[in-house]
A and B are shown apart, each in its own frame.
Chain A
């Protein structure tokens, strides 16, 4: 059912995706969702718990296949495409028995990259994530923010074209969250990946994204472009344009997830 990649095909395309878990009498998690995302976009997914945000990421990762419809990355099904993708999990998903360095080398090690090359690459990413000085520590000795930096460094060693982030900063305190968000955008300047970012924070979604997609009832309720200029920094957070966007998305989110529309 796959077609050859064409020049005008979007980087990521979801066509009428239905995702059903368990008995068919239960409402589907995704109910015929369609979405086109171009290379270089930063898409945040917001919505009430259980609206299918994480399911969408798992589909894009190829960890699950849709019940029906198509999930295409570079015009190939996500489950079989070779496009390099990295997944960032909420609790950083580090191996507790490995040091920071060994953790950041894991994905390259699984690919069979020789030790010297993966060491070099990991060291580079640890430096980018500003945790080179923690290389010999174990995860137990790190703060939540530091763990997330390791997770990020590990993902970036793959030089992914697509970055899938599932509430990565959800467990962190507000300040750490903001700092990591700014650094994520800084990394994006040098490494042109496309990102899908699941979050519960509207402010975070607006700050990071070029586009905020509001999910409700397994469908896209609103697709809001965010045209704030890059680079974005602490000043961006105080600008009227930013605050206005946050208010707008909050309002849309509230109406989209109101009980009457999700029934």
Chain B
């Protein structure tokens, strides 16, 4: 009872406090002529009635790009992780280049990608893929390689084939690592899609995503709508992260120590 109160009650309390501070700052700290820079929370909510349709369409567009890019990253990372787990030589040959790709800021790559893939959804997908790919590959590879040595011996004693060892040992043992990567990637995917939108969202005649909308609202000085866009983007992030946390629970909770009841 008290634990439930803490998990649900405390965030509500801190959230209310922040909103109160928000109002206070606006009313008592900001000079009247600067108040437009920090619209009141009710004004932000109010902008949903004026810009709701636009925001909803943009959210769907971004969600689609994020989901497709994320799915591509998952599929691609599994293939690459399996390849990397083959031998230390393969890893030594490929890892530095993966690092190089990861360390190149997407902001710089985006214009190049748009030149290649054209504006709109394809570019958004590619940018999302690039930003969420790396943590998935690194974690999944680590999981496939770090199999308990005793268990490997057990399989060797059992005269297991390489395929049996992969299916019954390495892949299940890598699942917790994979889900760690998946959780990181799920938080990055909407960010990547929105960053991609901001550059590539203005597909000719088409509807841009949240990033594109943010660019437009900022150019038009529609500050409450800009705040509303941020709020919606945040919620989209929660949807992605929540889905992966749920999936992870579904797969791992029957056996993984991280989900063990405390009293065992």
Q: Find out whether the CB atom of A110 lies under 8 angstroms from the CB atom of B159.
A: yes
Q: Does A140 contact B (CB under 8 A)?
A: yes
Q: Find out whether the CB atom of A110 lies under 8 angstroms from the CB atom of B160.
A: yes
Q: Which of B147-155, B182-190, B229-237 contacts A (4 or more CB under 8 A)?
A: B147-155
A-B interface pairs (CB < 8 A), number: 54
Q: Does B264 contact A (CB under 8 A)?
A: yes
| Given known contacts A87-B153, A138-B255, A111 and B159 CB-to-CB distance under 8 angstroms | yes
Q: Find out whether the CB atom of B172 lies under 8 angstroms from the CB atom of A97.
A: yes
Within 8 Å CB of A141, what residues of B? Answer: 264
Q: Find out whether the CB atom of A97 lies under 8 angstroms from the CB atom of B164.
A: no
A68-112 near B? 1/0 per residue, CB < 8 Å = 000000000000000001110101010111100000001101110
Cα of A106 to Cα of B160 in the assembled complex, Å: 10
Cα of A252 to Cα of B148 in the assembled complex, Å: 36
Q: Find out whether the CB atom of B158 lies under 8 angstroms from the CB atom of A93.
A: no
Q: Find out whether the CB atom of B150 lies under 8 angstroms from the CB atom of A89.
A: yes
A48-74 near B? 1/0 per residue, CB < 8 Å = 000000000000011100000000000
Q: Does B206 contact A (CB under 8 A)?
A: no
| Given known contacts A89-B153, A140-B264, A106 and B172 CB-to-CB distance under 8 angstroms | no
Pick from B154, B169, B172, B175: contact of A89, CB below 8 A. Answer: B154
* B residues 156-177 touching A (CB-CB < 8 Å): 156-160, 164, 168-169, 172, 175
Residue of B nearest to A61 (CB): B157
Q: Find out whether the CB atom of A93 lies under 8 angstroms from the CB atom of B151.
A: yes
Q: Does A181 contact B (CB under 8 A)?
A: no
Within 8 Å CB of A61, what residues of B? Answer: 153, 157
Within 8 Å CB of A97, what residues of B? Answer: 172, 175, 254-256
Within 8 Å CB of B256, what residues of A? Answer: 96-97, 140
Within 8 Å CB of A85, what residues of B? Answer: 157
Q: Find out whether the CB atom of B154 lies under 8 angstroms from the CB atom of A87.
A: yes
Q: Does B260 contact A (CB under 8 A)?
A: yes
Residue of B nearest to A87 (CB): B157
Q: Does A139 contact B (CB under 8 A)?
A: yes
Give the dominant DSSP class at B's interface.
helix
Q: Does B42 contact A (CB under 8 A)?
A: no
Q: Does B33 contact A (CB under 8 A)?
A: no
Chain A's nearest CB lies how many Å from the CB of B250?
13
Pick from A63, A87, A140: contact of B257, CB below 8 A. Answer: A140
Pick from A62, A95, A140: contact of B260, CB below 8 A. Answer: A140
Most chain B Cβ neighbours within 10 Å, of A91, A96, A141: A96
Cα of A138 to Cα of B256 in the assembled complex, Å: 9
| Given known contacts A106-B168, A110-B160, A63 and B153 CB-to-CB distance under 8 angstroms | yes
Within 8 Å CB of A106, what residues of B? Answer: 158, 168
Within 8 Å CB of B158, what residues of A? Answer: 106-107, 110-111
Chain A's nearest CB lies how many Å from the CB of B158?
4
Cα of A63 to Cα of B158 in the assembled complex, Å: 11
Within 8 Å CB of B168, what residues of A? Answer: 95, 106, 109-110
| Given known contacts A93-B151, A110-B164, A139 and B255 CB-to-CB distance under 8 angstroms | yes
A99-143 near B? 1/0 per residue, CB < 8 Å = 000000011011100000000000000000000000000111100
Residue of B nearest to A90 (CB): B150
Residue of B nearest to A164 (CB): B157
Residue of B nearest to A92 (CB): B150
Pick from A63, A95, A111: contact of B151, CB below 8 A. Answer: A95
Chain B's nearest CB lies how many Å from the CB of A53?
16
Pick from B156, B157, B254: contact of A138, CB below 8 A. Answer: B254
Chain B's nearest CB lies how many Å from the CB of A7?
28
Chain A's nearest CB lies how many Å from the CB of B164?
6
Q: Find out whether the CB atom of B157 lies under 8 angstroms from the CB atom of A63.
A: yes
Residue of A nearest to B172 (CB): A97
Q: Find out whether the CB atom of B154 lies under 8 angstroms from the CB atom of A96.
A: no
Q: Find out whether the CB atom of B150 lies under 8 angstroms from the CB atom of A91.
A: yes
Chain A's nearest CB lies how many Å from the CB of B257?
6
Cα of A107 to Cα of B156 in the assembled complex, Å: 10
Most chain B Cβ neighbours within 10 Å, of A87, A91, A110: A110
Residue of B nearest to A91 (CB): B150
Q: Find out whether the CB atom of B150 lies under 8 angstroms from the CB atom of A110.
A: no
B236-264 near A? 1/0 per residue, CB < 8 Å = 00000000000000000011110010001
Interface residue ranges, A against B (CB under 8 Å): 61-63, 85-87, 89, 91, 93, 95-98, 106-107, 109-111, 138-141
Q: 8 new A-B pairs (CB below 8 Å) besides A63-B156, A95-B151, A97-B175?
A: A63-B153, A85-B157, A87-B154, A89-B154, A91-B150, A95-B172, A106-B158, A110-B158
Can you report 8 A-B residue pairs in the complex whose CB atoms are below 8 A from each other? A61-B157, A63-B153, A87-B157, A93-B154, A98-B255, A109-B168, A111-B159, A139-B255
What are the 7 closest A-B residue pairs judged by CB atoms, nearest first?
A110-B158, A138-B255, A93-B150, A97-B255, A110-B160, A97-B172, A107-B158
